């Protein structure tokens, strides 16, 4: 059942991505000020949103773990944070490519959006490193749950930084955040790509979850073997 | 009230143990003074340069010294299973946590008070021009390091790699507060008062302290029972 779900979601997501890519690359004209590079926005923003949603789901599952003490929440939180970290890195990399062309530099030192997002990535990298270094499953679970909850607070700063401080990073673009930097008909596709990319994230999470559960089983068998 | 009283008992115990051995304080103070010395050689700043970089240098050193303090905060309870005894005592987790925070906070303040004259000696700077604002900034910024340091000290105390994991986890978490501390201290080192437009950085510090203190106390049970 889960296998079929994974395949179905991958198919839907790739069909959507192909359609969106066609529109982005062939239908849309170059943007007046930025030229061709503006199209990277359609991958930058959806990956960022996917990572935010993921990190918050991870934090919610961590709270659930601390409340219920059930290891299945821990496993799910861990794989969601891991996949979200991948999308956060994609956001950072696409953003840097855009910055190289739009600003002429790879990185704007001191910009609060960039700094807080890099910090967010570092925190979740620390989270994954910590998980590697703890052997006992219950200890690992409550440790990483606390860190995930602490780290999720930084995401509020990432999210609001472009409104609190004016830096190099462009202000809000989407109309739902009172932005409004896009021509008519261009914004809708951004949402379609959010859907496509978050649909891509779910099968990745499910596959990693299966691996994680198998790892747990292997570990418990190994512990059992040691005891015997 | 009971929590606070229990917390102060823990603080007194920690500080008494510390003042008898002075193992953490000696290390942290001599560390910060020798790094100040190294920086003064490495940068050899003119008064203008001191105004630019002095605040950053000073706070970086306090941050590193803080790591030394908080690495020991819970690790000192490991011999003879003192930590298990503490957790099993009638004091609530929040009280133990708060007591450890107060103890670490006092130790960091001692390190800061002892290092500041050395900073003035090596770097000059007009950091003493606004003593009131300096103390408010230092107290708020030190509390933010304290709350994060104590939380992660407790979380990592049983890990094999705890001395390595503490800075890796704490520094990114502290960044919003440190950003504010750097700005404020840079101004103070340059001899400027904190004006109304820079009040937002004090607010950042205060908000950070408030949010993470509440969060850490709410999660104290999970933080301590590892």
Q: Which residues 110-139 in chain A show a CB within 8 A of chain B?
A: 115-116, 119, 122-123, 126, 129-130, 133-134, 139
Residue B72, pLDDT > 90, answer: no
Q: Which residue of A has its CA nearest to B154?
A: A143
Residue A31: beta bridge partners? A35
Q: Which pLDDT band holds residue A77 (cuts at 50, 70, 90)?
A: very high
Task: Say whether B223 and A146 touch across the interface (CB within 8 A).
Answer: yes
What's the CA gap between A125 and A151, in Å, rounded?
Answer: 11
Locate tokens 């179905």: which residue? A8
Task: Say whether A146 and B175 touch across the interface (CB within 8 A).
Answer: no
Residue A172, pLDDT > 80, answer: no
What's the CA gap between A108 and A37, in Å, rounded?
Answer: 18
Tens of pLDDT, residue by residue over B133-179, are 899 999 999 999 999 999 999 988 888 788 888 888 899 889 888 88
Query: What is the model's pTM?
Result: 0.83
What is the DSSP annotation of A19-88?
HHHHIIIIISPPBTTTBGGGGGHHHHHHHHHHHHHHHHHHHHHHHHHHHH--HHHHHHHHHHHHHHHHHH
Q: Which residues of B touch A65 (CB under 8 A)?
A: none
Q: Tell me how many residue pairs between chain A and chain B have CB atoms under 8 A apart.
A: 58
Locate tokens 């996917």: which residue? A50
Residue A35: beta bridge partners? A31
Task: Say whether A151 and B158 touch across the interface (CB within 8 A).
Answer: no
ipTM: 0.75
Q: Which residues of A touch B159 (CB under 8 A)?
A: 130, 133-134
Q: Residues near B195 by Cβ (< 8 Å), separated by ≥ 6?
A: none
Query: To the nearest whole angstrom, how far is the Cα of B172 from the nearest Cα of chain A?
Result: 5
Task: Give the pair of three-digit tokens for residue B154.
Answer: 């407790």
What's the CA gap between A78 and A205, in Å, rounded?
Answer: 10
pLDDT of amino acid A181: 65
Tens of pLDDT, residue by residue over A135-161, are 888 888 988 999 999 998 888 888 877
Task: Say whether A116 and B158 touch across the interface (CB within 8 A).
Answer: no
Residue B213, pLDDT > 90, answer: yes
Indicate the residue of B151, B165, B173 with minimum beta-carbon distance to A133: B165
- Residue of A114, A111, A73 lying closest to A93 (CA atoms): A114
Q: Which residues of B touch A122 (CB under 8 A)?
A: 172
What's the CA gap between B125 and B52, in Å, rounded?
Answer: 10
Query: To the nearest whole angstrom, how far is the Cα of A118 from the nearest Cα of chain B?
Result: 9
pLDDT of amino acid A2: 82
What's the CA gap between A11 and A74, in Å, rounded?
Answer: 28
Burial of B201 per CB tally in 10 Å (0-12, 13-18, 19+): buried
Burial of A31 per CB tally in 10 Å (0-12, 13-18, 19+): middle
Q: A112, A124, A130: best mutation site toward chain B, by most B Cβ within 10 Å?
A: A130
A149, A165, B92 from A169: Cα distances, Å: 26, 10, 46
């Amino acid at each position: 059942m889960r296998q079929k779900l994974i395949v179905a979601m991958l198919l839907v997501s790739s069909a959507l991505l192909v359609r969106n890519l066609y529109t982005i690359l062939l239908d849309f004209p170059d943007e007046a000020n930025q030229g061709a590079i503006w199209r990277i926005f359609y991958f930058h923003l959806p990956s960022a949103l996917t990572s935010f949603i993921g990190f918050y789901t991870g934090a919610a599952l961590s709270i659930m773990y601390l409340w219920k003490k059930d290891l299945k929440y821990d496993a799910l939180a861990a794989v969601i944070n891991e996949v979200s970290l991948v999308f956060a890195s994609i956001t950072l990399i696409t953003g840097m490519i855009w910055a190289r062309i739009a600003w002429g530099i790879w990185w704007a030192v001191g910009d609060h959006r960039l700094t807080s997002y890099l910090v967010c990535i570092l925190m979740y990298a620390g989270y994954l490193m910590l998980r590697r270094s703890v052997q006992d499953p219950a200890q690992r679970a409550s440790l990483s749950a606390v860190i995930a909850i602490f780290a999720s607070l930084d995401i509020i700063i990432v999210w609001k930084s472009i409104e609190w401080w004016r830096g190099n990073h462009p202000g809000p673009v989407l109309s739902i955040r009172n932005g409004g930097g896009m021509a008519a008909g261009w914004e809708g596709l951004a949402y379609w790509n959010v859907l496509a990319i978050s649909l891509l994230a779910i099968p990745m999470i499910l596959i990693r979850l299966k691996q994680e559960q198998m790892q747990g089983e292997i570990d418990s068998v190994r512990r059992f073997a040691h005891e015997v | 009230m009971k929590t606070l009283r229990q917390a102060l008992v823990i603080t007194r115990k920690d500080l008494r143990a510390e003042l008898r051995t002075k193992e953490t304080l000696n290390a942290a103070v001599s560390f910060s003074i020798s790094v100040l010395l190294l920086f003064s050689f490495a940068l050899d700043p003119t008064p203008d340069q001191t105004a630019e970089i002095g605040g950053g240098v000073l706070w970086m050193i306090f941050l590193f010294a803080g790591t030394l303090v908080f690495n020991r905060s819970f690790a000192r309870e490991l011999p003879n299973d003192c930590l298990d005894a503490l957790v099993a005592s009638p004091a609530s987790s929040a009280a133990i946590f708060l007591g450890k925070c107060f103890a670490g906070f006092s130790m960091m303040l001692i390190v800061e008070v002892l290092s500041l004259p050395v900073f003035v000696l090596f770097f000059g700077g007009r950091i003493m021009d606004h003593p009131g604002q300096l103390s408010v900034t230092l107290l708020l910024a030190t509390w933010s390091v304290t709350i994060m340091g104590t939380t992660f000290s407790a979380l990592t105390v049983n890990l094999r790699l705890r001395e390595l994991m503490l800075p890796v986890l704490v520094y990114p978490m502290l960044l919003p507060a440190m950003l504010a501390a750097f700005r404020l201290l840079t101004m103070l080192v340059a001899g400027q008062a904190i004006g109304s437009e820079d009040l937002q950085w004090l607010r950042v510090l205060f908000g950070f302290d408030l949010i993470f203190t509440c969060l850490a106390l709410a999660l104290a049970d999970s933080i301590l029972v590892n």
